[in-house]
A and B are shown apart, each in its own frame.
Chain A
Amino acid sequence: MSDLDPVIHAQARLRITAALATLAPDESIEFPRLQELLGMTAGNLSTHLRKLEDADYVTVAKTHRGRTPVTYLELSTRGRRAFEDYTQALRGLLGEHP
């Protein structure tokens, strides 16, 4: 268990990472849409996203649509790899073949 990535090995961050991993590598998602898909509060999502961003697992891009600020989120290459490693480690622990 100690080998499991502590950044992802928490329910909320695992859900965020798993959700972002379903998007294509060149796709990003607006914060409110991700919040809607996950059914999380904005504060909770922000808190966990910050931890993922600090680990360089999530890339945050801020832009504007007209005068409205828009925040796009995507899993970085590092984050995608970490997620794959994490799920592979879980399968290994459970004796499942990758």
Chain B
Amino acid sequence: MDENTTTDSPLDPAGMLALVRRQQRDIGLQLGGAVPYILLAWGVSWTLGFLGLWSVDGLPTGLPLGAAVAVFVVLFVAAGGVSALLGIRRGRGIRSSPDSAFTGTVYGVTWSIGFVGLTAIGVALIQRGLGDLANLYFASVYVFFCGIMYIIAAAIWHAVPALVSGCWLVLVGATAPFFGYPGNYLVLAIAGGGAFLVMAVALLVYRAAGRRAHV
């Protein structure tokens, strides 16, 4: 905001209403400015990570399995780190009530509990002879779980975009195994990672358009 705000004098009603909208938009951008970049980080990690896994048997000269798994893990850890860092920066200096903090903590911990639980189930299934079907199990249940967590986030914080993307991820996770291996990884890369990239770009374009409209 660059207008002179030291004055006590009001503008006309249209000017004051415009000031409210401009100010709230500006705060929204400052507090939520990182969201497209968080989506971008996840979009890149999902797209490249799943493409790497698909390439193992999907391309004649694909990555070796070990390398594809390592790339996948590194990209996911990096995206998680970017999200955490940008999330912490957003919440800097803002305090929520104990009730909200409890909700946020339970929600955050549920991510870890879910991933650990689904991994444990997968390991147990492998020990009982799951074999190559593990390729279908792990990727799909993780994506499906992400979708469910997005939907829960939408319910808690009334976020419609989270609801839409959560439903999409549930759909992608649940249908990917029907494409078999390695096609399921290609589906997850394009429809899963691609969805994050589309959302990130759409948000950046929307903001740029809004910025031009307010100049």
Contacts and interface: CB of A to CB of B under 8 A. Distances in A.
B112 interface: no
A30 B96 CA distance: 11
A10 B9 contact: yes
A12 B100 contact: no
A37 B30 contact: yes
A58 to B, nearest CB: 15
Contact of B6 (A14, A24, A44, A91): A44
Interface residues of B, number: 32
B131 to A, nearest CB: 49
Task: Identify which of A11, A12, A30 gathers the most chain B CB atoms within 10 Å of its CB.
Answer: A11
Contacts of B99: 26
B14 interface: yes
Contact of A27 (B7, B23, B100): B100
B94 A38 contact: no
Nearest to B97: A26
Q: Which of B4, B5, B11, B94 has the most CB of A within 10 A?
A: B5
Nearest to A51: B8
B94 A91 contact: no
9 contacts: A11-B3, A12-B8, A14-B10, A26-B96, A27-B100, A29-B93, A33-B93, A37-B26, A44-B6
Interface of B: 1-11, 13-14, 16-17, 19-20, 23-24, 26-28, 30-31, 92-97, 99-100
